[in-house]
Amino acid sequence: MNAHASLAERQTDRRAEFDLAAETSRTEMTLPTPGELRHTLPLGPQLVERVHAQRQAVHDILQGRDDRLLVVVGPCSIHDPVSALEYAQRLAELAPKVSDRLLPVMRVYVEKPRTTVGWKGLAYDPDLDGSGDMARGLQLSRQLMRDIASLGLPVATELLQPMLAPYLDDLLAWVAIGARTTESQLHRELASGLDAAVGFKNATSGDVKVALDAMQAAAHPHQHFGLAGDGRPVMRETAGNPHTHVVLRGGHGGPNHDAGSVQACRQALKAAGLTPRLMVDCSHANACKDHRRQGEVLRDVLAQRLAGETSLMGLMLESYLEEGRQALEPATLRYGVSVTDACLGWEATEALLLEAAEQLRST
C-alpha cells in the first residue's frame, strides 16, 4: 500500500512539474474573433458591391469571357502599411491607362512562408521585432486591405494559416496557395469555400501535377473544420470553387514559363478535364531568383500570347516603390524597400505595364 501511495505521489509531483514548466514556457495573447474584427472594420454596402465586381472581373478572365491579362503585382510582402498604401495609390492611378488590356490586382501579402525560421509577416509581427503583436497585425492587415479595395484595386494575398482566412477573405479578389502548401489538404479545403479565385502554384520541385490535383480537390464539396465569426470551431460545408488555376513559378530544375512548359501544362489540364487557363509567376525560379529578370519573363509571356497561346491568362510581378531588398533591421529601414524577396522598383514596373498594354493592343 505504501509502495502504491508513493508511486501515486511521485506521478502527481511529476505532473505538477510538467504543468509548471508548460505554464512558464507558454505565452498567450487574446485575439479578436473574426466577427469582432469585421465589426470594428466593416465593409459598407458600396465596398461589398465593389469587391463582388472585382471578383467577377477576375472570374471573367479565368473563364475566357474577358481577354484582358490579369496582372497580380505588388510587394513580395507588406511590412509597412504606409508605403504599401502609397504603392497602391500609384497603381490605382496607373490602372485606367492600361485597363483596356490589363486588370491590375495588388499583392497584399501579410503572411510569409519560411523555409526554416524568420519574420512571418505583418499579420504576425507588425513591429518587426519578434514581439508578435498579432492582434495589432490583424487589425493593420484588414485596415490596409480595406483601404486598397476602396481605391478600386482588387486585392490579392497568399493564405498560409487557414485560421487567418476569416479575418480577411471578404476583401479578397484573388488568392494564392503557395508552392509549399498546394499539396496540403487543409488549403485545398479552404480554397473550396472561397468566393475569390485561387491560383495554385506548382511545387518547389517544379512538379505541376500537385497543382492540378489541388484544383480538382478544391472544385469538390468538402466538410471540414473551420472557425465561426464568434471564434467557435465549426464544421463547415463548402460547395467547391470552380474559379481555380495553375501558377507556373519554376522549380529546382529551372524556369517553366517557356513555350514548351506552357504547352505541356495546357495539355495536362485538358487531360485532367480542367479549364486550360494558367498564370506565370515572373519571379522566383522563373527569374532564376534575380528580380531584374522579371521583365524578360513578362516579355516572353506576352510573345506567347501574341503568338496565339490563349491559355496564358495572367502573370505575377514582385514590385515595390524602390528596387531591391534590405535586411530586416528596424532601426535602419529604408522607405519602400522590400524586407523579403528583392523587387522591381516602381518606375520599372510602370514602364513594363505600359509596354504590356501597348503590345496587347496590337492584337
In this predicted structure, what is the pLDDT of residue 165?
96
Amino acid at 271: A
| DSSP label at residue 220 | S
Residue 335 grid coordinates: 522607405
Residue 227 to residues 137, 183, 233, 246, 273, Cα–Cα distance (Å): 19, 22, 5, 27, 32
Q: For residue 178, which of 79, 51, 260, 283 has the smallest C-alpha distance?
A: 283
In this predicted structure, what is the pLDDT of residue 137?
98
C-alpha 174, offset from chain centre = 8
Helix ranges, the chain (H): 2-25, 34-40, 45-62, 81-98, 134-150, 165-168, 185-192, 209-218, 259-271, 294-306, 346-361
Q: Strand, helix or coil at 21? A: helix
Domain ranges of the chain: 36-361
CA dist 60 and 233 (Å) reads 34
Could you tell me the pTM of the whole model? 0.92
In this predicted structure, what is the pLDDT of residue 126?
97
Domain 36-361 has CATH 3.10.580.10: no
Cα angle: 184, vertex 168, 151; to 5 degrees? 130
In this predicted structure, what is the pLDDT of residue 28?
86
Residue 288 grid coordinates: 532564376
Helices 294-306 and 346-361, axial angle in degrees (round to 10): 10
Structural contact between residues 280 and 316, judged by C-beta atoms closer than 8 angstroms: yes
Per-position pLDDT tens, the chain of length 363: 454 556 556 556 655 554 555 454 457 889 999 999 999 999 999 999 999 999 999 999 999 999 999 999 999 999 999 999 999 999 999 999 999 999 999 999 999 988 788 999 999 999 999 999 999 999 999 999 999 999 999 999 999 999 999 999 999 999 999 999 999 999 999 999 999 999 999 999 999 999 999 999 999 999 999 988 998 999 999 999 999 999 999 999 999 999 999 999 999 999 999 999 999 999 999 999 999 999 999 999 999 999 999 999 999 999 999 999 999 998 899 999 999 999 999 999 999 999 999 999 987
Query: How many other C-beta atoms are found inside a 10 Å radius of the C-beta of residue 206?
Result: 18
In this predicted structure, what is the pLDDT of residue 152?
97
Please report, in angstroms and rounded to a whole number, the separation of the first and last CA atoms in the chain. 92
In this predicted structure, what is the pLDDT of residue 331?
86
**Grid cell 528596387 in the structure block, residue:** 323
Beta-strand pair 69-74/312-318: parallel
